[in-house]
Amino acid sequence: MATLNEAQLTQFRDEGYVVVRSLFDPEEDLDPVIGEYVGVLDRLASELHAQGHIPSTYAELPFGPRLSRICAKSGSTHAQYFDFSLPQKGIKLDTPFWAGPAVFQTLRNEKLLDAVEGFVGPEIYSNPIQHVRLKPPEHLVPRDPKTGQVQLGATPWHQDSGVLLPSGDQSQILTVWFPLWDATEENGCLMVRPYSHRQGLLHHCRRWNGLAIPDQFLPEGFVTLPMKRGDVLFMTQLTCHASLPNCSDEVRWSFDLRYNPIGQPTGREMFPGFVARSRQHPESELRDPATWHQLWEQTRNRMAQEEDPAYNRWGVEDKVCA
């Protein structure tokens, strides 16, 4: 059982984050996910080649170089094709997503849930604010034709509460971030601002690369967090964090998950979560990956028929964002 020690829990409470080293066994816990995504990339390459968007499927290349080559040649990062969530606008009946069994088993990984239990208690809900991040090297990433910026660049400083609806403000939402390959300063690891969670929710502005906290509101001081395969970062929903740009020749690959106590609002109620662990009612746990996939498929089909909902509280007219 991956229980946390008192020093780790104290750091989390005091500083708003803690890195637990070697929580996962990389081969046992992470390689099945990597293997599953090899198949996802195979399908994407075959589709793009059949449509004439790339001259080859590049099947001879390893996963990372192959993804980078496909992105460069097709002019898109295809981020939504790999993600196990849906986009915030323009959902259609054929909007791609990947909610595969290896991903599902990672969300329910016993080692991970043992650690999560130390933060949110034994009744654990898998919050639907969740993503896979596959960030190719910036010098190989296509640029957005409207902004001229790279399509998947550095993530600006933000709090996770800043990207959810006010319904989740009183919830105890835990952020869980971990790399599937080593995350280094060169390839774009995360940075955090210790103690920033004590300042409450800060103002966020809409930028070309997402919601960001204006510099004048940012607390002083930050820590850079290189992480090995198997390490896991836990943060509060109010901890300020960002990522460095990927200046390497390798893909930076990570999972970005959320958990909260069962019964608390998720801050994104339009998307489906599930009971990951319940000591009181274990029969309520979702254990079937096909059912999880179906929940997302049903959500996509429903939302394709509706207007785009609001996902956060910030307006473009805010004076501090001018």
The string of pLDDT tens digits covering residues 107-133 is 999 999 999 999 999 999 999 999 999
Residue 102 forms beta bridges with which residues?
none
Q: Which helix (H) or strand (E) holds 242?
A: strand 241-243
* CB-CB neighbours of 55 under 10 Å: 9
d(CA 256, CA 109): 14
Is 280 within a domain?
A: yes
Band (pLDDT 50/70/90 cuts) for residue 319 is confident
SS3 state at 71: helix
Is 319 within a domain?
A: no
Domain housing 205: 6-306
Which pLDDT does position 143 carry in this prediction? 75
Is 142 within a domain?
A: yes
Average pLDDT for 233-257: 97
Is 136 within a domain?
A: yes
Is 183 within a domain?
A: yes
What's the pTM?
Answer: 0.95
Is 316 within a domain?
A: no
Structurally, the chain folds into a number of domains equal to 1
Which pLDDT does position 127 carry in this prediction? 98
Give me the CATH number covering residue 214: 2.60.120.620
Average pLDDT for 216-220: 92
Band (pLDDT 50/70/90 cuts) for residue 186 is very high
SS3 state at 113: helix
Burial of 146 (0-12, 13-18, 19+ CB in 10 A): exposed
pLDDT at 41 over 60: yes
Is 317 within a domain?
A: no
Is 311 within a domain?
A: no
Q: What are the counts of helices (DSSP H) followed by strands (DSSP E) for the chain?
A: 7, 11
pLDDT at 81 over 90: yes
d(CA 280, CA 319): 48
